[in-house]
């Protein structure tokens, strides 16, 4: 029961209405007592009215679980901690993304240069949210989601990232002369991307001095319909809140979602281009990041209410999860192409070593060129049309619904989990039809059709394998414990008192549950690291004296 109780409270904090979540029961009881004391001095009509109100209050108390009545401080603590979780998740997501970039850029993977640059360019989007967040808080006292001109500018960097990824993969897969003559685009896309980043940096620095206010629309709100025209539409049931996204900002969001879906498709097809089915695993790794984008759009669909703050935490969590799964997928691609721990050696390696020759031969393999269905111009026209239609349909179509103003947590959660689930189901069926890399938890080391890694694979290396596994585990937990402790401290704002404080116990239990599952998810990665380390351990620790004698 002690474990179930925090889970019930956490679920209640998300699913109950704001009044149920954040009104302490003691206040309701006080109101009832005052109503009864005052009723004896009132007229019969007023007494009836107060009696009805009192009965409703008592009824609401009866439907509230007794645990919630006695633990309102825990519920409020969950609400307060929710404000800190997003920042913690976003901070923790940086390291796995850097690992993803490292493994992805391994030369034998043959990733197109422009696509690799696009994945790295995402770091500018991450860095760009820092000054924009500072401006929104210090100048306007708002969140970035409610400052349209900064919000749209920051998201534009994400759109540029996706465009670079799509252009890079698409050209490498469809241009027969790509590997001999290089990209037909040259450095132009990179220069344009740099210009976008510089423009956004200038906007952060000088935007407020130019008179841009908290609700100034991005790009001047180009394409927005006039207020009178909107209210005159026959289906409109309510006016827009002042923090509603402008058409340009919605267009940036939709284009990013569509481009990312297109990028996932190209990564899937890149398995055929390279003949390495492990690339399909990267598409699965990208799925949580797709869910992160859907969470952001869902939050904007409901006009960024503070009562749905859990959507921001979901966005951050999916970002962390997606960066981890992408890092795992990139690692699998790299080791399938010959990556070993020797690649971490900072000293120059012999160009004539067998490993180096094999990797260079893999890097020089030709692509299997695919036929492009559309030209770049046709594709751009289709994407632009789809983006604009979606932006107008959502921005003004939701005015015909009461749902966007309802702050319904259940509906929001269904959108966040439902849309990516459909995407995943489509790729699941596609994998079954095409064969190769279907849906499965990440596996390491084994080739297609072989079992995934287990401790038995490590034991095949004898003493060296056991020592390598012990070293790997010590390194993992030496990093995991400080990171988890720091995250817990940042989330709660203090070192938890698990003896006297219910909310601290709930927070610690939640972190233990999450940490245990993350550790389980990373077991294959830890086994893979031990296998990669085993030859080095055998050469430099177990048989060090024998190797010295041979030399």
Is 487's pLDDT higher than 80?
Answer: no
Burial 93-109 (b: 16+ CB within 10 A, else e): beebbebbbbbbbbbbb
How many C-beta atoms lie closer than 10 Å to residue 509's C-beta? 16
Say if residues 120 and 161 touch (Cβ distance below 8 Å).
no
Domain ranges of the chain: 4-70, 74-442, 458-550
pLDDT score recorded for residue 347? 64
In the predicted structure, residue 496 carries a pLDDT above the cut 50? yes
Token pair belonging to 474: 């010590």
Q: What confidence tens digit (pLDDT) does each residue in 22-52 have? A: 333 333 333 333 333 434 434 444 445 444 5
More confident residue, 107 or 546: 107
- For the stretch 337-361, what's the b/e string if a residue is b when 16 or more beta carbons lie within 10 angstroms of its beta carbon? bbbbeebeeeeeeeeeeeeeeebee
pLDDT value, residue 74 = 40
Token code pair at residue 259: 């481009």
C-alpha–C-alpha distance, residues 453 and 540, integer Å: 24
pLDDT mean over 116-136:
89
Q: Which of 123-132, 203-212, 291-300, 362-371 has the lowest mean pLDDT?
A: 362-371
Model confidence pLDDT, tens digit, residues 428-478? 988 888 865 554 544 444 444 444 567 777 777 788 888 888 888 888 777
* Phi, then psi, of 353 in degrees rounded to 5: -70, 145
The mean pLDDT value for 316-335 works out to: 93
pLDDT of residue 538: 77
- Give the integer Cα–Cα distance in Å for 92 and 317: 10
Q: Report the percent of the chain where pLDDT is more than 90.
A: 38
Taking the domain 74-442, which CATH number applies? 1.20.1070
């Amino acid at each position: 029961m002690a474990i179930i109780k925090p889970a019930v409270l956490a679920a209640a904090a998300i699913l109950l209405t704001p009044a149920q979540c954040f009104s302490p029961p003691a206040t309701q009881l006080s109101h009832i007592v005052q109503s009864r004391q005052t009723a004896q001095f009132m007229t019969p009509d007023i007494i009836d009215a107060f009696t009805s109100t009192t009965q409703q209050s008592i009824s609401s108390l009866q439907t509230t679980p007794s645990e919630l009545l006695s633990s309102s401080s825990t519920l409020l603590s969950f609400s307060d901690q929710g404000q800190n979780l997003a920042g913690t998740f976003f901070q923790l997501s940086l390291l796995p993304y850097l690992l993803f970039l490292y493994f992805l850029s391994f030369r034998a993977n043959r990733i197109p240069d422009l696509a690799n640059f696009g994945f790295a360019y995402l770091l500018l989007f991450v860095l760009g949210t820092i000054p924009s967040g500072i401006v929104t808080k210090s100048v306007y006292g708002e969140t970035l989601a409610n400052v349209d001109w900064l919000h749209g500018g920051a998201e534009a960097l994400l759109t540029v990232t996706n465009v670079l990824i799509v252009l890079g993969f698409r050209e490498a897969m469809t241009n027969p002369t790509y590997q001999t003559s290089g990209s037909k685009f040259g450095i132009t896309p990179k220069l344009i991307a740099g210009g976008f980043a510089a423009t956004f940096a200038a906007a952060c620095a000088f935007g407020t001095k130019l008179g841009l206010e908290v609700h100034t629309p991005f790009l001047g709100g180009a394409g927005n319909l006039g207020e009178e025209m909107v209210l005159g539409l026959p289906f409109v049931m309510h006016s827009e809140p002042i923090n509603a996204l402008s058409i340009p900002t919605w267009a940036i969001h939709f284009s990013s979602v569509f481009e990312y879906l297109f990028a996932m498709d190209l990564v899937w097809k890149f398995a055929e281009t390279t003949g390495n089915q492990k690339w399909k695993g990267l598409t699965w790794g990208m799925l949580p990041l797709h869910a992160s984008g859907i969470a952001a759009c869902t939050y904007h669909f409901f006009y960024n209410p503070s009562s749905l703050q859990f959507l921001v935490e979901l966005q951050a969590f999916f970002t962390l999860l997606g960066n981890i799964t992408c890092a795992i997928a990139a690692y699998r691609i790299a080791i399938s192409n010959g990556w070993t721990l020797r690649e971490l050696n900072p000293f120059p390696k012999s160009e004539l070593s067998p490993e180096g020759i094999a990797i260079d031969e893999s890097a020089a393999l030709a692509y299997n060129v695919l036929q492009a269905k559309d030209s770049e111009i046709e594709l751009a026209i289709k994407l632009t049309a789809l983006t604009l239609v979606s932006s107008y349909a959502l921005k003004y179509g939701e005015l015909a619904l009461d749902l966007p103003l309802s702050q319904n947590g259940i509906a929001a959660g269904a959108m966040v989990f439902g849309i990516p689930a459909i995407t995943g189901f489509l790729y699941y069926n596609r994998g079954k039809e095409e064969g190769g890399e279907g849906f499965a938890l990440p596996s390491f080391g084994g080739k297609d059709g072989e079992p995934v890694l287990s401790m038995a694979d490590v034991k095949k290396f004898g003493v060296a394998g056991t020592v390598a596994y012990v070293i790997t585990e010590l390194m993992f937990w030496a990093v995991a414990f400080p990171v988890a402790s720091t995250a817990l401290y940042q989330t709660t704002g203090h070192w938890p008192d698990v003896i006297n404080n219910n909310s601290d116990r709930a927070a610690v239990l939640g972190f233990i549950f999450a940490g245990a599952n993350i550790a389980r998810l990373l077991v294959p990665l830890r086994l893979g690291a031990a296998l990669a380390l085993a030859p080095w351990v055998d050469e430099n620790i177990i048989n060090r004296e024998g190797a010295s004698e041979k030399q």
